[in-house]
């Protein structure tokens, strides 16, 4: 696992899950790829995908607004757009941060 403070790579995740589940690395990789594919399709189709124990991946509409160019301070128009948003579940927060 990534113990040097850097994020875990996909290869490290596949290895860790294979060890935890007694599945082959190939099967874990196929599963992760399929999970990603299903999540992307669901968000496109239904605007929302729930991953139990982790959170919700959904589309969010952002309104047009006025911003500032940090280099010059000049006002700029930022157009409206659709963004992908991830909301962490309560169970995930408690699992990571502990229960208060």
For residues 19 and 30, what is the distance between their CA atoms, to the nearest angstrom? 15
Residue-wise pLDDT tens digits, 57-98: 999 999 999 999 999 999 999 999 999 999 999 999 999 998
For residues 63 and 35, what is the distance between their CA atoms, to the nearest angstrom? 30
Task: Judge if pTM exceeds 0.85.
Answer: no
| Inter-residue contact 86 to 56 (CB < 8 Å) | yes
Cα 58 from chain centre: 10
Structure-block tokens of residue 13: 């995740």
């Amino acid at each position: 696992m990534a113990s040097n403070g850097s994020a875990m790579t996909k290869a490290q995740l596949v290895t860790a899950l294979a060890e935890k589940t007694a599945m082959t690395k190939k099967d874990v990789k196929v599963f992760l790829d399929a999970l990603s594919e299903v999540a992307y399709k669901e968000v496109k189709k239904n605007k929302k995908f729930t991953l139990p124990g982790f959170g919700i991946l959904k589309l969010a509409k952002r309104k047009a607004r006025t911003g500032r160019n940090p280099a010059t301070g000049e006002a700029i128009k930022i157009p409206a757009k659709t963004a992908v948003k991830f909301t962490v579940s309560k169970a995930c927060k408690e699992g990571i941060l502990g229960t208060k």
